[in-house]
Structure 1
Amino acid sequence: MVIIAAEPVLLALGCDKLADGTVEGRFRWVYYTLGGASRLELIEPVADGSFLTKFLDEEGPGLHHVTLEVGDIDTVIKTLEAQGISVIDYKEFEGWTEAFVSPQNPTGALFQLMEYHERYTEELDRPADDLFIGGHRVDK
């Protein structure tokens, strides 16, 4: 279990656990804050045959992607695409909208862009201030 092994390291580095859940029985995700504006997310499969199982079988455990919270995902996507940077897998969920910057970009890293909706904070057992920089969403 990746999360069980990694969590003591993150806690020792000063991270606080923000959320812990599963997505449609496919994978578990645990979200940690680090400082005022940095967050880390760990994911691990809870069922065989998911994208994550395949990735781990091929690559082994390690960094999969970096998540960046944005105030206006559509504007960020337009800005990236204007620079010739490919954005993939745009999806809207009840609590957030996400898209990914393809790892084909010059950094070689997969970036997840996340715009949280106001209702997202109501589902967590944490104050809304913990989810937004400076205690509020970035204005659109």
Structure 2
Amino acid sequence: MPKGILGTNVITQIGILVNDIDATSQAYADFFGIAKPEWFLTDTVDAARTEFRGQATEARAKLAFFDMGALQLELIEPDHNPSTWREYLDEHGEGPHHIAFVIKGMKEKIALLEGNQMQLLQKGEYTGGRYAYMDTFKQLKVLVELLEDDKEQEQLHV
């Protein structure tokens, strides 16, 4: 059975932009009756190699993750450097930013989406993989994040 453009139809994560990660993390922890996760800061530009709209950026963000079964909830508090997080928060306020999918073949998927008028907004590296935010807002009313895990890539070459 076809799995659409990305080769999957399984949403793995919902990302939400916030102004105060501590307060919002506590509110979610209280709501779900679970422990508040510790937030961490994304890598510096030398490690993350972050690009926003084709330009290198020093953008960083505080991230907190809630693992909710098959779906992960990600809270994002961006710094003030240029990024999709900062732009979206400034334009739309707090709330949903993206839905994420684990994919294989990052370059190919980006090219495929760009061929469907869904442009690359931001990309970068993280320990264990890479990400790309695609501008799917016009079509899907939310951004799509592509996640490619190095472990998945290693398994492909076995």
> Relative to structure 1, is the Cα distance of residues 81 and 54 closer, same or farther in structure 2, using a 3 angstrom cutoff?
closer
1:81-120 correspondence to structure 2 within 5 Å = 84-88=116-120, 89-118=122-151
Counterpart CA distance in 2 for 1:78 and 1:26 is: 25
Matching residue within 11, 15, 29 for 2:63: 29
2:92 matched residue in structure 1: 59
- Deviating above 6 A after TM superposition, structure 1's stretches of 4 or more consecutive aligned residues are 14-19
Preserved CA contact (<8 Å) 1:97 1:115: yes
| Equivalent residues, number | 119
Structure 1 position 71, deviation (Å): 4.3
Q: Which has the bigger relative contact order, CA under 8 A and spacing at least 6?
A: 2
Deviations 1:91-125 (A, max 9, x none): 4455212122213442121011111223xxxxxxx
Helix, strand or coil: the match of 1:57? Answer: helix
> Relative to structure 1, is the Cα distance of residues 53 and 117 closer, same or farther in structure 2, using a 3 angstrom cutoff?
same
Counterpart CA distance in 2 for 1:85 and 1:15 is: 40
Counterpart CA distance in 2 for 1:75 and 1:101 is: 13
Gaps of 5+ in 1: 119-136
Structure 1 position 57, deviation (Å): 3.1
Preserved CA contact (<8 Å) 2:129 2:148: yes
Please report the RMSD computed on the Cα atoms of aligned residues, expressed in angstroms.
3.4
Gaps of 5+ in 2: 1-18, 45-58
TM-score normalised according to structure 1 size: 0.60
- Counterpart of 1:6 in structure 2: which amino acid? T
